[in-house]
Amino acid sequence: MWSWSNVLTPWDVKQYAYCPVIPWIAWNYGFREPETYSMVRGREERRQRLLKLQEMDFTPPIRIDVQLYSQRFKLAGVADAITGGRRHTVVEVKAFKRKKYNHFRVQLMVYALLSEEVLGPTIRAALILGSRLKLWDVTLEALMETKRLVLKTRAAVESERPPRTQLSGKCLSCWYRRFCPYH
Ligand code: SF4
């Protein structure tokens, strides 16, 4: 038996890649950034783009909002879409294009790891950023790297002390700054 409160999610790992203190705050203080107006707008845009996946070059069937849970990693998430019958492509849809998207790639690879664990061979990861499409092969090396990151995130959120991090320009606009032990 599991609940969302005791499993790690791709969101935690994505935030860990961005700043490891953020998932530590979320787990230890229970705070999450409230939804902003642009997030609400983005949600509707994202929904429209998900509907258009049928028109893109993905192998059917296309399953939307796929719930995935790995007992082994105590990791769970809802993938935006998973395509293909035997060899899967995992798809993450963001409403708008971004200049920096490495943390989204990290999140997507966590979904790829979940898909590999739960559904079987997962060969590609697709990130849709507005009208742009980024594709990556899901290699053994990428999966191993993602597993290491999941384990590091687990260790960070379960630690009594906040993880070490480098303060940088991103701290200036960080919503979590008010709870951050380094400020
Ligand atoms: S203020 Fe900086 S160090 Fe603190 S949580 Fe935000 S990004 Fe991380």
Residue by residue, pLDDT tens for the chain (183 residues) are 556 668 999 999 999 999 999 999 999 999 999 888 777 777 777 777 777 787 788 889 999 999 999 999 999 999 999 999 999 999 998 877 777 778 899 999 999 999 999 999 999 999 988 888 999 999 999 999 999 999 999 999 999 999 999 999 999 999 999 999 998
* Minimal-distance CA residue to ligand 1 atom 7: 171
Predicted pLDDT at 156: 97
Residue 17, domain CATH? 3.90.320.10
Predicted pLDDT at 52: 77
Whole domain around residue 170: which residue ranges?
Answer: 4-179
Residues whose CB falls within 8 Å of the CB of residue 3, separated by 6 or more in sequence, listed in order = none
Element containing residue 123 per DSSP (H, E): strand 122-129
| Cβ neighbours around 51 below 10 Å, total | 10
Round to whole Å and give the CA distance between 123 and 43: 27
Can you say whether residue 170 is alpha, beta or left, with left for phi > 0 and alpha for psi between -120 and 50 degrees?
Answer: alpha
* Minimal-distance CA residue to ligand 1 atom 4: 180
Ligand 1 geometric centre to CA of 14 (Å):
14
The DSSP code sequence of 126-169 is EEEETTEEEEEE--HHHHHHHHHHHHHHHHHHH-SSPPP----G
Ligand 1 geometric centre to CA of 155 (Å):
18
Number of domains in the chain: 1
Predicted pLDDT at 5: 66
Element containing residue 69 per DSSP (H, E): strand 62-70
To test ligand 1's pocket by mutation, which of 16, 19, 166, 179 has the most ligand atoms within 8 angstroms of CB?
Answer: 19
Ligand 1 atom nearest to 25, measured from its CA:
5
Residues lining ligand 1, Cβ inside 6 A: 19, 21-22, 165, 167, 170-171, 174, 176-177, 180, 182-183
Element containing residue 57 per DSSP (H, E): none
The residue among 89, 79, 76, 73 whose CA lies nearest residue 149 is 73
Predicted pLDDT at 103: 87
Ligand 1 atom nearest to 175, measured from its CA:
6
Model pTM score: 0.90
Predicted pLDDT at 3: 61
Residue 120 token pair: 């079987």
